[in-house]
Amino acid sequence: MNDTTQLAKKDESAAVRRENDSSQRQITLMPPVDIIENSQGVTLWADLPGVTKERLDVKVHDGNLYIEAQAVVPTPAGLRLQHAEIRQPHFARAFSLGADFDASKIDANLKDGVLKLTIPRRDEARPRRIDVRTD
């Protein structure tokens, strides 16, 4: 930074007006996902930075998988936020589950801002080997 660089001054009155304005829309982001499918099922990883377990909602309804989350970006003690593009990001994503998948056995794990969902196939939908006899 050199001496000609200036920080923009924050208009506190505008921030208060925005907080009190109930018509302000919440910005919803689609989290990026990676999906791997094999004969056992599907594994989905969703990037949800700043999301805690308490602010994460994963549900299945009518054959669809829904992920909704609210991120919390804390300001460390002794520091003041100068600029934020999105203060508390809201994430939402939906996926259609085929009839081959067993929604009652979905396993969910959140670690370091990454949600991992393991969605197994129904037993009858898994490939199975058929033994052939010789007479």
pLDDT, averaged per 10 consecutive residues of the chain (135 residues), comes to 38 43 65 94 95 95 95 83 80 93 95 96 80 87
The CATH number of 26-74+86-125, from 2.60.40.790, 1.10.3720.10, 3.30.1330.200, 2.40.110.10, is 2.60.40.790
User: pLDDT tens, 105-117?
Assistant: 999 999 999 999 9
Count helices and strands in the chain by DSSP H and E runs: 1, 8
The pTM (predicted TM-score) of the whole model is: 0.71
> How are strands ordered across the β-sheet holding 90-96?
28-29, 90-96, 64-71, 51-61
